[in-house]
Amino acid sequence: MQFDIHSVLITGTGMSLVFLCLSVFTWLKGRRRIAGLEYWFQGYGFFLFGMMLIIIRNRIPEWISIVFGNTAIFIGLSFKIIGLLKYLEWYSRKMLLCLIAYNLIHIALLVWSLSLPEGLKFRMISISLYNVSFSVLGSWLLLSKASRKLRSHTIVATSFYALYGAIYLVRTIRSFYWHNGNNWLQSKDPVESMILTMVIILLGGVAVGEMLLVHGKLELLLMDTAIRLNETNRSLEEEIVHRASIERELQFSNRELASTQKEIMRTLAEVVEYRSKETALHVARVSAYSKIIAQSIGCKEEFINRLADAAPMHDLGKVAMSDELLNKKEPLTAEEHKLMQSHTLIGYNLLKNSEQPLLQLAAIIALEHHEHWDGQGYPLGKKGEDISLAGRIVCLCDVFDALSVERPYKKAWDMDKILAYLKTQRGHMFDPRLVDVFFLQIDEIFSVTYSISEVLK
């Protein structure tokens, strides 16, 4: 069966359009992740343009078809090589300059051949050698520069490059013995038609090989991503374990620090009480009573615990008072009374500069635990809710417990008298709501009074 070269070219042009579409698909699939794919796409575009110029040779000046058609095909093949170089991350300006120089040499040979009587033979030799060089360079790049992990994907493309070169090597040898005239399209050479058919088929194989190369690179990227993710996950797990360990140590240190801080505060409070001939039971009971009331009115757990720890420090300012003043049995003079009242400001000034929330609350309690609901207290004469909740709670609990114990200047009151006094001071000395809550929880308060007394005996 005899092939018509012109018909084969028309069919090849149509197939080149299909290859162009495949190359577009390949480019879209790997764009922004794999370099060089746009050059493969552009390469088929130039190749298609060159084929079209050759097909319409009878409709345009022959020299335009020969020079510009083959030049477009040269550029298309060069773009294929540039895309391969970028894909393999081996592209350089030097390689680009070599390709440009090689193209210029063959274009010059095309132009020169137009002036020769047997110019077709020389064009065939030049074009065939160009294509052999293209296939050799492509095969070498894939065999020597591709990652070993890509070998299973490069073997197909390498095979098509090699077969493409072999076909053109045969054509190169035949070109030296060309005797079928100087018009290639009208030569009706069956071997030439067969070679052209196989070239077009192999170009389709190159397009398929390029798709496989893209799939291989994407698989490698996915594998590398998976490895990096695993390494990142391991690092994160190690970091989480490390941070958890540090956090546990920090929590332990904080607990130790808080415990030490509370112990120091409790000891300071007891020192104050002992100096005034009172007892550690007083600060313990005020703390417990304050906690009961705070819980009963729905305070947050953090505030309740902090209040219980800070309440014992309410009389810290008494450390600045003399023993004679603290333990005086006779009623205090106006001057002495004023001096005694200053213990609220002294306690506040001792604690106010701390950045610890516990000590800040203790400073407020020290300042306000003698302020009255009706504004008749000291040192600032605050009134109602201008007094902090902590200050109002400790005021009530401190008075209740102070009345129940003997002091140098007074006897202990009977419980009935104490409770009656608290009721009369509802809305005067004490926050009415807190007094109501106090009486609602009176059984629990009495239970705490007994239990603390037994434990600390």
* Average per-residue pLDDT for the chain: 82
Does residue 292 surpass a pLDDT of 80? yes
Task: Determine the structural domain holding residue 209 and report its residue range.
Answer: 5-236
CA triplet 174, 177, 182: central angle to 5 degrees?
A: 100
Query: Interhelix angle for 301-310 vs 389-404, to 10°?
Result: 50
pLDDT value, residue 255: 64
Which residue has better confidence, 354 or 286?
286
Is position 430 within any domain? Answer: yes
Kindly state the percentage of the chain with pLDDT values over 70: 84
pLDDT value, residue 26: 64
Q: What is the pLDDT of residues 295-313, one digit of tens each?
A: 999 999 999 999 998 898 8
Last residue of a domain, one of 207, 236, 265: 236
- In the block, tokens 């092939």 appear at 3
pLDDT value, residue 132: 93
Indicate the pLDDT class of residue 364, thresholds 50, 70 and 90: very high
Which residue has better confidence, 100 or 209?
100
Indicate if 225 and 288 belong to the same structural domain: no
pLDDT value, residue 432: 95
Local structure of 159: helix, strand or coil = helix
CA triplet 219, 221, 222: central angle to 5 degrees?
A: 65
- In the block, tokens 């409790």 appear at 266
pLDDT value, residue 30: 65
Indicate if 161 and 96 belong to the same structural domain: yes
Does residue 399 surpass a pLDDT of 90? yes
Does residue 11 surpass a pLDDT of 80? no
Is position 248 within any domain? Answer: no
Is position 346 within any domain? Answer: yes
> Using CB atoms within 10 A of its CB, is residue 87 exposed (0-12), middle (13-18) or buried (19+)?
buried
Indicate if 309 and 368 belong to the same structural domain: yes
Q: What is the pLDDT of residues 42-72, one digit of tens each?
A: 887 888 888 888 888 778 888 888 899 889 9
Whether the CB-CB separation of 329 and 232 falls below 8 Å is answered with no
**d(C-alpha 42, C-alpha 289), whole Å:** 87
Q: How far apart are the first and last CA of the chain?
A: 122
Indicate if 285 and 225 belong to the same structural domain: no
Is position 244 within any domain? Answer: no
* CATH number of residue 17's parent domain: 1.20.1070
Is position 364 within any domain? Answer: yes
Continuous H helices in 276-388 = 280-296, 301-310, 323-326, 334-341, 343-351, 357-368
State the average pLDDT over residues 185-209. 78
pLDDT value, residue 262: 58
Indicate the pLDDT class of residue 400, thresholds 50, 70 and 90: very high
Answering whether pTM is above 0.95, one says no
CA triplet 378, 382, 386: central angle to 5 degrees?
A: 145
pLDDT value, residue 25: 64
Indicate the pLDDT class of residue 118, thresholds 50, 70 and 90: confident
Does residue 236 surpass a pLDDT of 80? yes
> Using CB atoms within 10 A of its CB, is residue 260 exposed (0-12), middle (13-18) or buried (19+)?
exposed
Is position 256 within any domain? Answer: no
Which residue has better confidence, 188 or 53?
53
Which residue has better confidence, 325 or 273?
325
Kindly state the percentage of the chain with pLDDT values over 90: 29
Does residue 385 surpass a pLDDT of 70? yes
pLDDT value, residue 2: 47
pLDDT value, residue 258: 56
Indicate if 189 and 310 belong to the same structural domain: no
Is position 146 within any domain? Answer: yes
Indicate the pLDDT class of residue 23, thresholds 50, 70 and 90: low
* CATH number of residue 366's parent domain: 1.10.3210.10
Which residue has better confidence, 121 or 259?
121
pLDDT value, residue 277: 43
Indicate if 211 and 338 belong to the same structural domain: no
Please give the distance of CA 20 from its chain centroid, rounded to a whole number.
41
pLDDT value, residue 1: 42
Indicate if 180 and 49 belong to the same structural domain: yes
State the average pLDDT over residues 361-365. 92
Indicate if 315 and 371 belong to the same structural domain: yes
Indicate if 282 and 227 belong to the same structural domain: no
pLDDT value, residue 317: 84
Lowest mean pLDDT among 81-90, 145-154, 304-313: 145-154
| Identity of the amino acid at 377 | G
Return the closest-CA partner of residue 350 out of 359, 341, 358.
359
Does residue 209 surpass a pLDDT of 80? no
Indicate if 82 and 162 belong to the same structural domain: yes
Last residue of a domain, one of 236, 262, 295: 236
Indicate if 104 and 23 belong to the same structural domain: yes
- In the block, tokens 């020290």 appear at 366
Q: How many structural domains are present in the chain?
A: 2
Indicate if 301 and 418 belong to the same structural domain: yes
Is position 171 within any domain? Answer: yes
Indicate the pLDDT class of residue 27, thresholds 50, 70 and 90: low
Does residue 426 surpass a pLDDT of 70? yes
